């Protein structure tokens, strides 16, 4: 894996578990439709799998 991934928060995390909320904050996603780019590495991919139902992922 190389390059970057673009993450967009598409659903509210109000009813998400505390762990999922911490993962979103760790990814830098705080508001709906907020976009962040991260390096495409195993750590980020692991975080994405925890909150896959709340975000959309695009490879850049």
Strand 35-39 to 4-9 pairing: antiparallel
Greater model confidence, 1 or 18: 18
Whichever domain contains 51, its CATH number is 3.30.1390.20
The boundaries of the domain holding residue 52 are: 4-59
* pLDDT greater than 70 at residue 1: no
Mean pLDDT of 25-52: 97
pLDDT for residue 26: 97
Give how many domains the chain has, as a whole number.
1
pLDDT for residue 44: 97
pLDDT for residue 17: 96
Q: Write the DSSP assignment of 16-60 as a string of letters.
A: S-HHHHHHHHHHT--STT-EEEEE--HHHHHHHHHTTTTEEEEE-
pLDDT digits (tens, 9 = 90+) for 3-36: 999 999 999 989 999 999 999 999 999 999 999 9
CA R_g for the chain: 11
């Amino acid at each position: 894996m190389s390059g970057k991934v673009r993450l967009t928060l598409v659903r509210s995390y109000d009813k998400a578990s505390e762990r999922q909320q911490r993962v979103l904050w760790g990814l830098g996603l705080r508001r709906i439709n907020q976009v962040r780019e991260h390096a495409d590495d195993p750590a980020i991919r692991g975080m994405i799998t925890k909150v896959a139902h709340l975000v959309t992922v695009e490879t850049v």
